[in-house]
Structure 1
Amino acid sequence: MPFQQGAQQLVCYQRLPTSQHMIAFIVALSFILGIVSAVHAILETRTPQGAIAWVVCLLVFPIVSVPAYWVLGRSRFHGYVNAWQEASDAIRKPLDEALEEFKPLQVQAPESMPEYAAITRLANFQFVTGNHTELLIDGQNTFESIEAGIEAATDYVLFQFYILRLDGVGNRFKEQLIRKAREGVKVLVLYDELGSSSLAKENAASLVAPNISVRPFNTRQGRRNRFQLNFRNHRKIVVVDGRVAWLGGLNVGDDYLGLDPKLSPWRDTHMRIEGPAAVTAQAIFVSDWYWAAREFLDFLSWRPYPTEAAGKPALVLGSGPADELETASLFFTTVLNLARERIWIATPYFIPDEATMVALRLALLRGTEVRILTPRLNDNWFVRQAANVYLSELADMGARIFFYEKGFMHQKVVLIDSAAAIIGTVNFDNRSFRLNFEVSGAVADSEFANQVETMLEQDFGNSTEASDYRLRDQPFLDRLQARTAALLAPVL
């Protein structure tokens, strides 16, 4: 018995140095990988703030940060770029032919607006006239409008959402799309697999029928992208026959009708565009579909159909991590610099980048009215805390801050003077500006801008204005939480 105890102790003593060596090896390896990853972050991260945040995390906490960086740290989606370049020859011919028909409809740059050239270069297109636009407020109006459009489809329906749930609303659309497909209408359904994670394979399969194709966007396809979770397709686009398009903040689900008791009532905004600008929305869908399915849709119509000679000028802009430039950030910075009278921004997530903050500061300095509308109730605690830093700074400079009180506000709307309004999927945060695939509809028309103004005035009426909003006056823990969240915002 003593011999056995002595043997056991000897084994333990022999194992101890080996375990220590293994731990030392793992720690050393993690720091080496942290240094290598930090160098990669310095070279590849799009913003200095993001690069600094990653470098600090990688060097101080490498065991946790290294795997996080290689899963979440990429800011350019090279696989999407390469796939699109491979298909460009097949796609270019019909698009070039369509562009010839667009030329008479394109809005030329006013001599007094050099910023217009920047906008058109970012969009790779110009504002086009001949559009009828309709403002859609909240879920009921939006879903009824989309259902009516699908019902009128004769050739095809393109149906893309970040979140697609087959609940009450989702099943209504499913049954309608299957019925239209049986009538001979081609239907394509595209969804983001992360946003639509509740869409089980069995439910997705229930959408498949003759004339219907269903695909997840699948950012992780391909060996290099297998562990990439950072890029998401946040777009919401419906196109019918290449003539009418819908885009905005609403996904497909019962909660967007205000049926989620935690986030009810739900406040959101969408828009309907009929006319040549709908073809631009179609082109964005086609690009996403090619990545998802490696299939070019040669049955689509690319001919623009103006609704009326004096229709509204509109532009549909796609943006995302496959762009050479930071399209969304540059676009909104340019638009904000155009404002002379007012900038009204409604967004659920307000964590602007430095360029956007500079544009807002300059607007306030030149006397432009700036209003920020964001929800009091938020589904993201981290975002809500970080937003306090930016809201406080703008409030100190004279911006008016409004907290929406009547449920959860999810709309993404920008109003510039009385001249233009933008409705889409872009939140004012790093994720929307750089990591998500997004879409925005801009309408340069005073009548439409007035409709948006009326809508936002009602939202302000359902809000509380923080007339003396200063973070420095808040309790210590609140200030610490806000500053810490803002510090981490560039990497999330």
Structure 2
Amino acid sequence: MSSLWEFLVEYQTHLIFAASVVLSVSAAVHIALTKRDVRAAIAWVGVVLFSPFLGPILYFIVGINRIRHTRIRSHRDRLLKEVADHTAVTVSDLARHAAPQCLSLKKASDTVTRFPLCGGNEIIPLNGGDQAYPAMLAAIDAATDSVVLQTYIFDNDIVGHRFADSLIAAFQRGVRVRILIDSIGVRYSHPTIVNRLRQQGVMVELFETNAVTWRMPYANMRCHRKILVVDGEYGFAGGMNIREEFLTEITRDETARDIHFQVRGPIVAQLLVIFCHDWLFSTGEQLKLSEWVAAEAAFMPADMAARCVPSGPDREIESTHKVLLAACAVAQQRIRIQSPYFLPDQVLIGALTTAARRGVQVDIVIPGRNNLRLVQYAMMAQIDQMIETGCRVWKGSGNFDHSKLMTVDDSWSLIGSSNWDSRSLRLNFEIDIEVYDRRLAGWINGAIDNEIAHGERLTVEALRKQGLLAILRNKLIWLATPYL
């Protein structure tokens, strides 16, 4: 024993060096075998090789996609088949809904998401928490059979208490209730809302993205989806979390803005498929879709053509990214985008700038006031790439706007939870809905036009006037954009 100790003491430097080499080389090999983005691979290889021990540990925590593809693959495939049967109404004549060029976009989306494009939907915009929260609470209060709720942030504040009380009341009158909250987002308030719900018997679970435990299952990956489905018939989706900052009666002049959406029709069954899949992933409980969806799909007179586009670091990785590229490629007249966190990668920047060079009018609206200052700095570091090629970039006025909207040629819209950044498009689990309908696109265009009318157009000259130190600060923060 003493000789072993003496050996370890004498050669400790050599052993530490050998261990660091083994760890770094092993991590580098794993990176080369698993990473699909060459820039990310090069960056990670540099980190693990030039930061002994720290680099491999950092890669182990945040750099590995540990999503298990096989554990729930058969269940997801079965749910998709059920929803395909349930929403058998497909759109064969898109001319009723959208511009002719959208047929190419539909074909591209067919290869990206396995959900069918279905007609018979109604999608109603809800402007801010003042409209969205009362509509959502009224639906929960009227529930007679089931309520499923999935959200990123569920704050323990006044608005959170209203939702919790409605959910508890629904549960107490015999309604089946399932609540799924992201394990990072739930900690935006302390203490969390979870105990308030669980103490009353409501089944609430966390989507396991927590990196604090030794298991570190899905560090740096968050479930950013927002889904509410009541009685398998009434749905709500979009980008709005459950928190009081969106309600005027509480925050008054400082109220944050957002646009959420109420949906009815066959699209609701698709939202349920996504929830059931995430519920199984997080809890191990299999929910039978037929027991949660309405017995018969309610086909709405509005007859909007729509489908869900789920994305995440699993089999749907980069799904939304691919749909965005396809939308930019088919655009002939206008692309309108509003995003609170606009940090597209070079591929998306190329798609937007190429569209602008083709003569497509590209308008991009970003917040004038951002709730994440570092993101605002990073956006300013790369926005000139769009402006220089003819894209028009506008800074909104007033309070922070969290809306996530896009339209193409006044007839196709993308709504949902995704931001135009690497976190949403590669790391997070997101849910978006593509809608082929001129009426909804017209409403969204009106909202974006209002922002433009009251906003400020950014120019390259204005960006240069920020000063050298501000430009350098922005560029340094921009380097960390994949993890902001």
TM-score (normalised: structure 1) = 0.87
Partner of 1:439: 431
2:407 is aligned, of 386, 404, 415, to 415
Tell me by how many angstroms 1:411 deviates: 1.3
Partner of 1:41: 31
Aligned partner letter, 2:67: H
Q: Give the 5 Å matches for 1:253-268.
A: 253-257=243-247, 264-268=254-258
Q: Distance in 2 between matches of 1:25 and 1:270?
A: 57
Determine helix, strand or coil for the equivalent of 1:266.
coil
Given the superposition, is the C-alpha separation of residues 224 and 284 from structure 1 closer, same or farther in structure 2, using an over 3 Å criterion? farther
Determine helix, strand or coil for the equivalent of 1:389.
helix
Determine helix, strand or coil for the equivalent of 1:423.
strand
Q: Give the 5 Å matches for 1:243-258.
A: 243-257=233-247
Partner of 1:85: 73
Tell me by how many angstroms 1:452 deviates: 0.8
1:126 is aligned, of 116, 136, 141, to 116
Which stretch shows the higher mean deviation, 381-390 or 174-183? 381-390
Partner of 2:5: none
Paired-residue identity, %: 29
Partner of 2:153: 163
Aligned-residue RMSD, C-alpha: 2.9
Q: Distance in 2 between matches of 1:263 and 1:119?
A: 41
Determine helix, strand or coil for the equivalent of 1:125.
coil
Partner of 1:12: none
Tell me by how many angstroms 1:203 deviates: 4.2
2:144 is aligned, of 126, 140, 154, to 154
1:368 aligns with 2:347: no
Partner of 1:103: 88
Given the superposition, is the C-alpha separation of residues 114 and 456 from structure 1 closer, same or farther in structure 2, using an over 3 Å criterion? closer
Q: Distance in 2 between matches of 1:469 and 1:277?
A: 45
Partner of 1:190: 180
Partner of 2:169: 179
Q: Give the 5 Å matches for 1:321-340.
A: 321-323=313-315, 325-340=317-332
Q: Distance in 2 between matches of 1:137 and 1:262?
A: 15
Aligned partner letter, 2:85: E
Tell me by how many angstroms 1:479 deviates: 2.9
Kept after mapping to 2: 8 A contact 1:352/1:390: no
Tell me by how many angstroms 1:108 deviates: 6.0
Aligned partner letter, 2:367: P
Partner of 1:449: 441
Partner of 2:334: 342
Gaps of 5+ in 1: 1-17
Larger radius of gyration: 1
Q: Distance in 1 between matches of 2:10 and 2:418?
A: 50
Aligned partner letter, 1:375: P
Give a deviation string over 1:402-444, Cα, whole Å, max 9, x none.
Answer: 1123121211111212102221110111110011000112221
1:215 is aligned, of 205, 209, 214, to 205
Given the superposition, is the C-alpha separation of residues 139 and 244 from structure 1 closer, same or farther in structure 2, using an over 3 Å criterion? same
Give a deviation string over 1:39-71, Cα, whole Å, max 9, x none.
Answer: 322322232222222222222333433222111
TM-score (normalised: structure 2) = 0.88
1:396 is aligned, of 388, 408, 411, to 388
Determine helix, strand or coil for the equivalent of 2:274.
helix
Kept after mapping to 1: 8 A contact 2:87/2:297: no
Which stretch shows the higher mean deviation, 30-39 or 118-127? 30-39
1:379 aligns with 2:364: no
1:241 aligns with 2:231: yes
Q: How many residues align?
A: 470
Which stretch shows the higher mean deviation, 301-310 or 46-55? 301-310
Partner of 2:4: none
Tell me by how many angstroms 1:262 deviates: 12
Kept after mapping to 2: 8 A contact 1:329/1:355: no
Kept after mapping to 2: 8 A contact 1:275/1:304: no
1:137 aligns with 2:122: no
Q: Distance in 2 between matches of 1:50 and 1:472?
A: 29
Given the superposition, is the C-alpha separation of residues 241 and 211 from structure 1 closer, same or farther in structure 2, using an over 3 Å criterion? farther
Tell me by how many angstroms 1:150 deviates: 1.4
Tell me by how many angstroms 1:106 deviates: 4.1
Kept after mapping to 1: 8 A contact 2:231/2:293: yes
Give a deviation string over 1:189-224, Cα, whole Å, max 9, x none.
Answer: 110011111566874132137773111011359x99
Partner of 2:306: 314
Given the superposition, is the C-alpha separation of residues 491 and 309 from structure 1 closer, same or farther in structure 2, using an over 3 Å criterion? closer
1:117 is aligned, of 70, 90, 107, to 107
Determine helix, strand or coil for the equivalent of 2:186.
coil
Determine helix, strand or coil for the equivalent of 1:159.
strand
Kept after mapping to 2: 8 A contact 1:392/1:470: no
Partner of 2:3: none
Kept after mapping to 1: 8 A contact 2:183/2:206: yes
Determine helix, strand or coil for the equivalent of 1:234.
coil
Determine helix, strand or coil for the equivalent of 1:170.
helix
Partner of 2:220: 230
Tell me by how many angstroms 1:38 deviates: 2.5
2:50 is aligned, of 60, 64, 80, to 60
Gaps of 5+ in 2: 1-7
Kept after mapping to 1: 8 A contact 2:334/2:360: yes
Give a deviation string over 1:432-480, Cα, whole Å, max 9, x none.
Answer: 0011000112221111111111111222233221134565564333332
Tell me by how many angstroms 1:182 deviates: 1.7
Determine helix, strand or coil for the equivalent of 2:332.
coil
1:271 aligns with 2:256: no
Aligned partner letter, 2:134: E
Tell me by how many angstroms 1:486 deviates: 3.0
